[in-house]
Amino acid sequence: MVKLVMVRHGESIANALNQYTGWNNVGLTQEGIVQAHVAAKKLQGFYFDHVHTSVLQRAIITAYIIQDDLNLNYVPITKSWRLNERHYGALRGQNKDATRREFGVEQVHQWRRSFYSVPPELPQPDPNVGPYKYYESSIMPVAESLYEAYQRIIPYYVDNVAPKLLDNKNQLIVAHGSTIRALIKYIEGISDKDIDGVEVANGKPLIYDFDEKLNIISSNRTEK
Ligand SMILES: O=C(O)[C@H](O)COP(=O)(O)O
């Protein structure tokens, strides 16, 4: 049996302000830091062979806190733009309630939760997002549906996480709400329609136990 654990970063400053974030690079709130420590507490006794995160600060710091609390600072960590949050296009930085008033509750729900809905696009890639100079211009989105994000997230999992799990090495992914929803969709085979009902809480470790062929033996995902 091998374990995959996925943790959404602790509460970010943008989460606390109820703002769309996507590739914007924002730090954790004090509450977010506490959530990262609580996540680590729930994982006491776990060992990971490799940690995977995005290139965004809120996920990286959450990963560092968990590694530190588990005394696993020496474990290699890979930071990939492929694990970034879904790019929220022109919505980034806007207040979610304000967009509900402007565009309606149903439209906002579609943008946030449907698999194929693309948020309003930026006129051009935004030089103020993330560690911009480390992104190749060819990968800079102007907005992403969850489907489009899935296309760049799943190859990372298939190439970098699944082979290590098949080698019986436990893996930790510390990432973002939409990144983890895409991974849950792939791992559990959830339909395009049903993925809209899947929510991922800040700092709650999702633990999957797999057999040697990566069939799911158990998972705590639907536990309250
Ligand atoms: O990028 C964001 O705004 C959040 O991390 C996730 O937003 P969501 O809850 O609208 O998917």
In terms of phi and psi (left: phi > 0; alpha: psi -120 to 50; beta: otherwise), the region of 157 is alpha
The residue whose CA is least distant from atom 10 of ligand 1 is 112
Residue 16's closest CA among 6, 31, 1?
A: 31
Residue 51's closest CA among 69, 30, 26, 27?
A: 69
Task: Assess if residue 52 is contained within a domain.
Answer: yes
* Residue 111 Cβ < 6 Å to ligand 1: no
* Residue 20 Cβ < 6 Å to ligand 1: yes
- Is 207 annotated as contributing to ligand binding? no
Which pLDDT score is estimated for 136?
Answer: 85
Give CA–CA dist 182/136, Å, rounded: 23
Task: Assess if residue 72 is contained within a domain.
Answer: yes
Task: Assess if residue 139 is contained within a domain.
Answer: yes
Give CA–CA dist 50/78, Å, rounded: 8
* Residue 88 Cβ < 6 Å to ligand 1: yes
Query: Is the pLDDT at 137 greater than 90, yes or no?
Result: no
Model confidence pLDDT, tens digit, residues 210-219: 999 999 999 9
Q: What is the distance in A from the centroid of ligand 1 to the CA of 206?
A: 18
Residue 151: pLDDT band with limits 50, 70, 90: very high
* Residue 89 Cβ < 6 Å to ligand 1: no
pTM exceeds cut of 0.90: yes
- Is 87 annotated as contributing to ligand binding? yes
Sign of CA dihedral 177, 178, 183, 184: positive
Give CA–CA dist 59/53, Å, rounded: 6
- Is 12 annotated as contributing to ligand binding? yes
* Residue 62 Cβ < 6 Å to ligand 1: no
What are the Cα distances from residue 102, in Å, to 16, 68, 72, 107? 21, 43, 46, 10
Task: Assess if residue 107 is contained within a domain.
Answer: yes
Residue 18: pLDDT band with limits 50, 70, 90: very high
Which pLDDT score is estimated for 67?
Answer: 98
- Is 37 annotated as contributing to ligand binding? no
Q: What is the distance in A from the centroid of ligand 1 to the CA of 82?
A: 16
Residue 224: pLDDT band with limits 50, 70, 90: confident
Task: Assess if residue 224 is contained within a domain.
Answer: no
Model confidence pLDDT, tens digit, residues 86-104: 999 999 999 999 999 999 9
Model confidence pLDDT, tens digit, residues 43-60: 999 999 999 999 999 999
Q: What is the distance in A from the centroid of ligand 1 to the CA of 98?
A: 15
- CATH number, domain of 186, equals 3.40.50.1240
Based on the residue annotation, tell me whether 85 is a catalytic residue of this protein: yes
Q: What angle do CA 200, 117, 94 make, to 5 degrees?
A: 70
Range of the domain at 180: 2-219
Based on the residue annotation, tell me whether 9 is a catalytic residue of this protein: yes
Mean pLDDT in residue range 196-208: 97
Task: Assess if residue 58 is contained within a domain.
Answer: yes
Q: How many domains does the chain have?
A: 1
Which pLDDT score is estimated for 66?
Answer: 98
Task: Assess if residue 215 is contained within a domain.
Answer: yes
Residue 49 has a CB neighbour count (10 Å cut-off) of: 16
Residue 126: pLDDT band with limits 50, 70, 90: confident
